[in-house]
Amino acid sequence: MNTFNLPDVGEGLTEAEVVSWKVKPGDIVAINDVLVEIETAKSLVELPSPYAGRVIELMVAEGQTVDVGTPLISVGSAAELPAQQAASTTSVPSSGLLDLDPALIDDRMVKLTEPSIEAAPAPLVGSGPKADAVRRRPRTVSSSASSPVPAKTSTTAVPQERPVRALATPPVRKAAKDLGIELAQVPATGARGEVTRQDLLSFQGGQGAKSGDRIERIPVKGVRKATAQAMVQSAFSAPHVSIFVEVDASRTMEFVKRLKASRDFQEVKVSPLLIVAKAVIWAAERNPGVNASWGEQEILVKRFMNLGIAAATPRGLMVPNIKDAQDLSLRELAVALNELTITAREGRTQPAQMQGGTLSITNIGALGLDTGTPILNPGEVAIVAFGTIKQKPWVVDGVVQPRWVTTLGGSFDHRVVDGDLAARFLVDVAAILEEPALLLD
C-alpha cells in the first residue's frame, strides 16, 4: 500500500486546504489521474496520483487545512479492498462521507454483509447511485430473546419516534458545532438531502438578522491570509514613495480602436491596458533601475521582465505575471494578458505563475478610480497604477478641447529608486500613452 502526502506545489508552501476529493474509497486510479483539489495561499491546484491501484482510504476531510507532508490518501493494489468495506455496517467513516445514525438502519435498508447484495464502498456526497437505484428488501426480524427490539415495534414505533439526525459532511458538521448551530434546524438543499456549507452560511445569516448580531466573522485564510502577510511585509520593509502624472490618452484610444479593427487582432481582446503594459516594458528598458530588487548587500537589476498584472478575483487579489514579457510582440502580449486574466478569474492560476515577478501594474481604472498609491509587490521596487480614462477639458495649442485623459500613479522602493529615476520612468510610460507611435522607433 502506498501513501500520498501533501507535496510542496510551489516555493515556500507550508500548508493547504483540501477543497474536494475527486475519488472515493474503492475507486481504481491510474497514474496522473486527479485525486484531489487543494487550495494553497494563492490558487486552486489539482493533485494527480503518483500511483496506480485502488483507493484504500481518504485520510483528510474536505475543508481541513493540513501541513505539507501530511498523508492525504492511501492507494493499494487493485485487489485490495478499502478499509471502509471491512468495517461494521453500523458505522460510517468520517473522511468526507455522510454521517448516518446506526439506529436508523431498519428494514428499509439492506446490510452490506448480506450475501445477496454485492458489497460496495459508501459513496461520497454527490456521487454514487441514485437513491431509487438501491436494492431493498424487508429484514427478517427474529422473535428470540436475543433480539434487541421486539418484532412488533422494530419497523413502526421506534423509527417514527426517534429524531432523524441531519445529514452533513464532517467539515460542515464541525462548522455547525463551532457556530453553535443545530444541524437539524438548517434547511438542506444537498443532492441527497444533506446540509451543505452554503445552507449553513445562509442559516447563520438569517439567525444573525433575527438575533441582532451585526458582526460577520470571516476566517483569515488562503488568499486573504497570504495577501495580508505580503502587504504588511512590503509596507513595513520597503520605504514607499509615490508620484502621479496626468496624461492625454486620446491617441491611445484611437490606436486601440484601429487594433480592434485589424485582421491580426480580430480574435484577441484589446484594451488600453495592453498599451500601458507595452509602455511599461518600453520605459523599463530605458530606465532599467526600476526593474530590480533590493538584496540588502546589493541591488539586483533584472535583464528580463516578468510583468505582473494585479487581478481582482472571487478568491481575492492575485498578481500573476507574464514571463519574459520583453520578448513578446504586441499581439503576443495581448494574448498573454487575456489568458492571465481569464485564468485568474476562474481561480486556475498556479503558484508558479505568481512567482518571480519583477515589476507590476494595477488597473484601478477598471474599478472606476482615477488614481491611487499601490503597495509594492514583495520583492519588486516599482508598481504602476493605471486610472480610468474619461473625457475631460484639455488645452491643445491654446484651445480647450474634450480629450480622453487618465492619471498614472507609481509607487517605488526609495532604497533602490530615487525620485529622479521614478519621474523619468513614469514620464516615459506617459509618453507612449500620448503617442503610441513611439513604440515603432
Report residue 51 as a C-alpha cell.
500511483
Query: How far is it, in rounded angstroms, from Cα 253 to Cα 247?
Result: 12
Q: What mean pLDDT comes out for the span 107-117?
A: 37
Q: Decide: 238 and 230 in contact? Cβ < 8 Å.
A: no
Three-state DSSP state, 208: helix
The residues with which 321 forms a beta bridge, in sequence order, are 308
**Is the predicted pLDDT of residue 12 greater than 90, yes or no?**
no
User: Is residue 102 in a domain?
Assistant: no
The predicted pLDDT at position 120 comes to 39
Question: Does residue 186 share a domain with residue 323?
Answer: no
User: Is residue 92 in a domain?
Assistant: no
* Predicted confidence band of residue 210 (pLDDT cuts 50, 70, 90): low
The predicted pLDDT at position 153 comes to 43
User: Is residue 150 in a domain?
Assistant: no
**Is the predicted pLDDT of residue 135 greater than 50, yes or no?**
no
Question: Does residue 259 share a domain with residue 342?
Answer: yes
Question: Does residue 421 share a domain with residue 293?
Answer: yes
Question: Does residue 183 share a domain with residue 244?
Answer: no
**Is the predicted pLDDT of residue 333 greater than 60, yes or no?**
yes
User: Is residue 101 in a domain?
Assistant: no
Question: What would the DSSP string read from start to end of 274-305?
Answer: HHHHHHHHHHHHHSGGGSEEE-SS-EEE-SS-
Question: What would the DSSP string read from start to end of 353-402?
Answer: GGSS--EEEE-GGGGT-S---PPPPTT-SEEEEE---EEEEEEETTEEEE
User: Is residue 337 in a domain?
Assistant: yes
Q: Final residue of a domain: which of 211, 237, 269?
A: 211
Which stretches within 103-221 are classed as H helix? 157-161, 170-179, 197-211
**Is the predicted pLDDT of residue 30 greater than 90, yes or no?**
yes
pLDDT digit string, tens, across residues 164-184: 678 888 778 878 887 888 888
Q: How crowded is residue 240: how many other Cβ atoms within 10 Å of its Cβ? A: 15
Task: Work out the burial of residue 408: count CB atoms within 10 Å of its CB; fewer than 13 is exposed, 13-18 middle, 19 or more buried.
Answer: buried
The residues with which 391 forms a beta bridge, in sequence order, are 404
Question: Does residue 363 share a domain with residue 312?
Answer: yes
φ, ψ for residue 43, nearest 5 deg: -155, 165
**Is the predicted pLDDT of residue 132 greater than 60, yes or no?**
no
Query: How far is it, in rounded angstroms, from Cα 358 to Cα 323?
Result: 10
The predicted pLDDT at position 96 comes to 38
**Is the predicted pLDDT of residue 45 greater than 50, yes or no?**
yes
The predicted pLDDT at position 162 comes to 47
Higher-scoring residue by pLDDT: 52, 82:
52
**Is the predicted pLDDT of residue 110 greater than 80, yes or no?**
no
User: Is residue 127 in a domain?
Assistant: no
Question: Does residue 180 share a domain with residue 255?
Answer: no
pLDDT digit string, tens, across residues 227-279: 788 888 888 888 999 999 999 999 999 999 999 999 999 889 999 999 999 99
φ, ψ for residue 125, nearest 5 deg: -60, 130
* Predicted confidence band of residue 42 (pLDDT cuts 50, 70, 90): low
* Predicted confidence band of residue 80 (pLDDT cuts 50, 70, 90): low
**Is the predicted pLDDT of residue 201 greater than 60, yes or no?**
yes
Q: What mean pLDDT comes out for the span 117-146?
A: 40
User: Is residue 234 in a domain?
Assistant: yes
Which stretches within 88-237 are classed as H helix? 157-161, 170-179, 197-211, 222-237
Which CATH number does the domain housing residue 380 bear?
3.30.559.10
Report residue 293 as a C-alpha cell.
530588487
Strand 359-362 versus strand 307-313 pairing type: parallel
Question: Does residue 316 share a domain with residue 181?
Answer: no
Q: What mean pLDDT comes out for the span 148-154?
A: 45
Question: Does residue 207 share a domain with residue 227?
Answer: no
H-run or E-run covering 258:
helix 250-261
Question: Does residue 187 share a domain with residue 264?
Answer: no
Query: CA torsion 66→70→72→78, rounded to 10°?
Result: 180
Which CATH number does the domain housing residue 189 bear?
4.10.320.10
Known catalytic residue at 240? no
Q: How crowded is residue 152: how many other Cβ atoms within 10 Å of its Cβ? A: 10
**Sequence-ordered list of residues with C-beta below 8 angstroms from that of 26, at least 6 positions apart, any chain:** 54, 55, 81, 82, 84, 85, 120, 121
What distances in angstroms separate CA 197 from CA 25, 58, 94, 169, 266, one per listed residue?
23, 20, 16, 9, 43
Report residue 241 as a C-alpha cell.
514613495
Kindly name the residue from 414, 423, 424, 439 that is annotated as catalytic: 414
- Cα Rg for the chain, rounded, in angstroms? 30
* Number of compact structural domains in the chain: 2
Three-state DSSP state, 17: strand
The predicted pLDDT at position 150 comes to 45
Q: Final residue of a domain: which of 187, 211, 235?
A: 211
pLDDT digit string, tens, across residues 343-360: 888 878 888 888 999 999
Q: Final residue of a domain: which of 183, 211, 239?
A: 211
Range of the domain at 339: 223-440
Q: Decide: 385 and 429 in contact? Cβ < 8 Å.
A: no
Average model confidence (pLDDT) across the chain: 80
Question: Does residue 245 share a domain with residue 343?
Answer: yes
Question: Does residue 175 share a domain with residue 271?
Answer: no
The predicted pLDDT at position 154 comes to 46
**Is the predicted pLDDT of residue 109 greater than 50, yes or no?**
no
The predicted pLDDT at position 422 comes to 97
Query: How far is it, in rounded angstroms, from Cα 77 to Cα 54?
Result: 6
User: Is residue 68 in a domain?
Assistant: no
The answer, as to whether pTM is greater than 0.75, is no
Q: How crowded is residue 52: how many other Cβ atoms within 10 Å of its Cβ? A: 15
* Predicted confidence band of residue 84 (pLDDT cuts 50, 70, 90): very low
Question: Does residue 313 share a domain with residue 207?
Answer: no
